Structure 1
Amino acid sequence: MVKQIPLSGHPNNLAIGRSGKRVYVGIIQAPGGVDVIDTASLQRVKTLPTKGTIHNAYVTPDGKYVVAGSIQGKTINVFDATTEEPAWTLDMDLGIRPMTFSANPDGSTKWLFTQLTGFNGFAVVDFATHKEIKRIKNPDLPPGRSTVPEGSDPSHGMAVTSDQKTLVVCSRLNNALYSYSLPDLNVIGTVFLGGKGAGWVTLTPDGKKAYVANPVTNDVSVVDIKSQKEVALIPVGYVPKRNTTGVLQQ
């Protein structure tokens, strides 16, 4: 540790700007906001105001926008990453949980996907019009399978593969990882997991494998996207969540 940076309140999650010059920290403590950290000076330079306390902060794949979701405020708060000023806010009927994004051919953001409090599925928001265009419920369980009542929200954790062809969605309730085709959003795969909890997911950079954190059984499921099979179940520490993928240079 080289420095501790005081924040405006208790943090919940963070995102790194595409240039690496800024870190955006979601503040879960009232009144909320997104703290902006300058990585050169290691100082908090400002707090972006939000409508509600913040569960998670993100940067869009093109690096142009900072996006923050509020469970308490039921809002999606979007900021211009260049000016660090509000761009738009969308009020929803349920709290905002994990989000992810799909891109247009030119790299700009096409859709924002968000999971919602108490809902086993996700909403689709058109980034250009700032409107919800679809809400999709994850499939019902087939006969003989039981739900998992413990863990995170019913559907918590999602990601888009790097080729922009597949959206993967965790369902804690169904103990499954679902794959949806893009852009038509049809279910193209279901993997029932060996662990329990399905609380978060991260993808390898090539989009070939998904790693699902299972906080109920303290393990991580490794799913092969092409074959739609769980290929490993890795025991880890207590209550794994918010796993991410990092690329290290050798």
Structure 2
Amino acid sequence: MATNTLAVVSQSGETLNFYDLTTGTKTGQIEKLRAEPHELCYDSRSNLLYVTHAYEWGWYPQHGEFSKVISVVDAQTRALVEEIPTYPASGAHYAILDEAHDILYASCENGIGDFHHSGGIIAIDLKTKKVIKAIPSEWKSHWFVMTPDGKRAYTCNKEAGFISIIDLVNEKMVGKIDIPGGCEQPGISQDGKYAYFPTPTIGFALAQNSPEYAIKVIDTSSDQIVKSIPLDTGALTIHVDKQDRLLLGQYCFEKNSSGVKHRNGRLLVLSPEDFKEISSYPTDVCPLTVFSSPDGKRAFAANIFSGTVTVVDLEDQKVERTLDVDTVKPHGKGMLQGAHGLALIP
């Protein structure tokens, strides 16, 4: 296996942490990032990490003002080097790099369009560090997937009940796909032919007595849902690895007279041919972000409510180790969100 460094965001701790994957040793930390860092996007050409910030304080759906910047970190010196304004948009959550056009796309929850929930997708020119596109999605867009040619995106709008289809070239929303119950973080096949959206949202599931969990498969040539894959428990995220396997971060909970109790989750690996289970691995609580190594040999699950990362050896089909990132709720924070965004650095 390649000896890479894993970068991990602690949202509630407002830190960026670095781990040697050979030993599991923590090798560095950037403290006092701008509030509520969320996701990471790594650019290997410049060795820069882009850190999204959604809110000035809080969490979805309870938060303060939307943040208006994306932080830029030098992965070699491990120092904050710049902050990119996202104006007119705010509340940047997820980011995807379009290397062919030297653009960083980010989904935002606010500030695009004239409607009440004015989110969408922005494009940042990485040469000028300026926003050159702001495309409305008609809701507070949380995550999104992009086709490999950089022409089209599909947004996760959480509880909105629809997925927005975004034409990134002509800078407009071109349609909606109904998804009752909402959705969580999607994945997309390596060739861009299929997008995978887990449904319903965790909030919807917690409020129902017997929620029906599934993956909705969208054919990107027709923009239609062509298959529904049933699940036995909910998924917070779907990541598609280089072998086109579907890696699901799944949550578990139980209800009793005092409310909802979150339990440890799992990382489920499905075959791309028939969506049958290949393997399953225990994780800590709420694996919100899932990532894999380029060689397809490792997978990572950031367990946000535990503040840990589960490292999985996909070749030997075992949990390799658990990294403690930020396991104690910081003073003044409403909840522990100790592990979120992930990125691999060679």
What's the TM-score bracket when you normalise by the shorter of the two chains?
0.7 to 0.9
1:121–1:171 CA contact under 8 A, matched in 2: no
CA deviations 1:107-148 (Å, max 9, x no partner) are 3x22110112136442211111211122223346xxxxxxxx
Find the residue that maps to 2:249 and give its secondary structure: strand
User: Cα gap change, 1:18/1:73 in structure 2, threshold over 3 Å: closer, same or farther?
Assistant: farther
Per the alignment, residue 19 of structure 1 pairs with: 100
> Under a length normalisation based on structure 1, what TM-score does the superposition of the two structures give?
0.81
Per the alignment, residue 150 of structure 1 pairs with: none
Counterpart-to-counterpart distance in 2, 1:175 and 1:63: 33
Q: Which amino acid aligns with 2:131?
A: R
User: Cα gap change, 1:13/1:241 in structure 2, threshold over 3 Å: closer, same or farther?
Assistant: farther
Aligned match of 1:232 in 321, 330, 341? 321
Find the residue that maps to 1:175 and give its secondary structure: strand
Q: Any unmatched runs of 5+ in structure 2? A: 1-80, 111-116, 206-211, 253-263, 328-336
Per the alignment, residue 32 of structure 1 pairs with: 119
Per the alignment, residue 257 of structure 2 pairs with: none
Per the alignment, residue 280 of structure 2 pairs with: 190
1:112 and 2:195 correspond = yes
Identify, as 1 or 2, the structure richer in strand: 2
Q: Which amino acid aligns with 1:16?
A: L
Give the alignment's Cα RMSD to 1 decimal. 2.2
CA deviations 1:178-200 (Å, max 9, x no partner) are 1111121111211123x222222
TM-superposed deviation, 1:3: 4.3
User: Cα gap change, 1:156/1:225 in structure 2, threshold over 3 Å: closer, same or farther?
Assistant: same
Greater CA drift, 203-212 or 218-227: 218-227
User: Cα gap change, 1:137/1:6 in structure 2, threshold over 3 Å: closer, same or farther?
Assistant: same
User: Cα gap change, 1:246/1:65 in structure 2, threshold over 3 Å: closer, same or farther?
Assistant: farther
Counterpart-to-counterpart distance in 1, 2:232 and 2:314: 18
TM-superposed deviation, 1:20: 5.2
Find the residue that maps to 1:54 and give its secondary structure: coil
Find the residue that maps to 1:83 and give its secondary structure: coil
Find the residue that maps to 1:199 and give its secondary structure: strand
CA deviations 1:23-68 (Å, max 9, x no partner) are 2221213311212222222222231011311011332234332332
User: Cα gap change, 1:199/1:6 in structure 2, threshold over 3 Å: closer, same or farther?
Assistant: closer
CA deviations 1:60-96 (Å, max 9, x no partner) are 2343323322124222223333333334431221223
TM-superposed deviation, 1:10: 2.3
Aligned match of 1:82 in 155, 166, 169? 169
Aligned match of 2:341 in 235, 243, 247? 243
Find the residue that maps to 2:315 and give its secondary structure: coil
Identity of aligned residues (%): 21
Counterpart-to-counterpart distance in 1, 2:139 and 2:215: 20
> Under a length normalisation based on structure 2, what TM-score does the superposition of the two structures give?
0.60
Per the alignment, residue 42 of structure 1 pairs with: 129
User: Cα gap change, 1:139/1:188 in structure 2, threshold over 3 Å: closer, same or farther?
Assistant: farther
Counterpart-to-counterpart distance in 2, 1:247 and 1:67: 27
1:160 and 2:247 correspond = no
Structure number with greater Rg is 2
Per the alignment, residue 199 of structure 1 pairs with: 288
Find the residue that maps to 1:31 and give its secondary structure: coil
User: Cα gap change, 1:184/1:62 in structure 2, threshold over 3 Å: closer, same or farther?
Assistant: farther
Aligned match of 1:169 in 248, 260, 275? 248
Counterpart-to-counterpart distance in 2, 1:241 and 1:129: 36
